């Protein structure tokens, strides 16, 4: 069941940075008028064509707050994807709020955003327990991993339903090469993501991707065989400052769908 592919590629919009902006002004305040509202942002993203909403509830609550995630899980009409560390606290929150997907990611206190994939291979036994507890609550469970065959094999053994491939190295190579696929380093990074996707599908897991994708580099990733969903945040929120969030989402979704028709 986990390996089935249901139609066209989907877009999950990460709205963490909506609350980054809010917390810059209202950190530590329970002001119901604090803005911008992540719930309003989620609705705008949905109107722009988002198939899902992604948020990361961090241990230090630097942007998303517990009340934000609770409101989103109960009031958003598309899929909710909760990025989370594999801790007892986060597992309890996910089991209580029941987002559609729980995505396990590494988490560092000093990082600005998630850097690098989860080391599944190095903690298989512990993650088996975490995945089992999330499955018991009826959740689809995803791992954010590097395009590394060893990590993908570990994900299959642990019992993940989804592998989201970390596209940061590809995005970096794209920027360094100016998008020129005649540059071997860029071709190699795209091939790594594609090969990882093949291994994920062979293991009957869902193949998703995300991190540092933007309007310039998204189409080669969106066109990969068997890819089901992209999670994109920073570039969409950045563009929304100029165009509005609904239009920024619609532009990204249009690029993704165009790439699958070529």
| pLDDT tens by residue, 209-256 | 999 999 999 999 999 999 999 999 999 999 999 999 999 999 999 999
- From the candidates 83, 107, 189, 229, give the one annotated as an active-site residue: 83
Task: Please check the confidence at residue 259 and state whether its pLDDT lies above 60.
Answer: yes
Query: Is 211 designated active site?
Result: yes
143 contacts: CB under 8 Å, gap ≥ 6: 103, 104, 117, 118, 120, 155, 158, 160, 162, 163, 164
Split at pLDDT 50, 70, 90, the class of 4 is very low
pLDDT at 5: 46
Split at pLDDT 50, 70, 90, the class of 108 is low
Q: How many CA atoms lie within 13 A of 75 on its CB side?
A: 12
Q: Whole-angstrom Cα distance, residue 62 to residue 20?
A: 7
- Residue ranges of domains in the chain, CATH in brackets: 10-260 (3.20.20.70)
- From the candidates 17, 43, 63, 211, give the one annotated as an active-site residue: 211
The proportion of the chain whose per-residue pLDDT surpasses 90, expressed as a percent, equals 90
pLDDT at 3: 41
- From the candidates 17, 43, 44, 56, give the one annotated as an active-site residue: 56
Q: Whole-angstrom Cα distance, residue 39 to residue 62?
A: 17
Average pLDDT, the chain: 94
Q: What is the pLDDT of residues 168-198, one digit of tens each?
A: 999 999 999 999 999 999 999 999 999 999 9
pLDDT at 115: 65
Task: Please check the confidence at residue 82 and state whether its pLDDT lies above 70.
Answer: yes
CB 79 within 8 A of CB 98: no
Query: Is 56 designated active site?
Result: yes
Here the tokens at position 143 are: 């791992």
């Amino acid at each position: 069941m986990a390996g089935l592919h249901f139609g066209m590629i989907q877009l999950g919009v990460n709205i963490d940075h909506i609350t980054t902006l809010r917390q810059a002004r209202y950190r530590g305040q329970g002001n119901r008028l604090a803005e911008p509202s992540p719930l309003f942002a989620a609705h705008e993203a949905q109107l722009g064509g988002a198939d899902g909403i992604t948020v990361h509830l961090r241990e230090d609550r630097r942007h998303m707050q517990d009340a934000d995630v609770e409101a989103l899980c109960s009031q958003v009409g598309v899929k909710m994807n909760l990025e989370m560390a594999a801790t007892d606290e986060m597992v309890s929150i996910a089991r209580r709020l029941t987002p559609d997907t729980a995505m396990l990611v590494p988490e560092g206190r000093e990082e600005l955003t998630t850097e690098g994939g989860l080391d599944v291979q190095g903690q298989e036994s512990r993650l088996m327990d975490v995945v089992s507890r999330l499955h018991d609550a009826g959740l689809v469970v995803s791992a954010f991993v590097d395009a590394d065959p060893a990590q993908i094999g570990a994900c299959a053994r642990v019992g993940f339903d989804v592998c989201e491939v970390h596209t940061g190295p590809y995005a970096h190579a794209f920027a360094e090469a100016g998008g020129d696929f005649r540059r071997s380093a860029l071709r190699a990074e795209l091939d790594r993501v594609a090969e990882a996707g093949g291994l994920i599908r062979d293991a009957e897991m869902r193949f998703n991707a995300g991190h540092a994708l933007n309007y310039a580099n998204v189409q080669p990733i969106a066109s990969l065989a068997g890819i089901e969903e992209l999670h994109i945040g920073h570039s969409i929120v950045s563009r929304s400052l100029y165009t509005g969030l609904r239009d920024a989402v619609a532009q990204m979704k249009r690029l993704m769908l165009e790439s699958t028709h070529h």
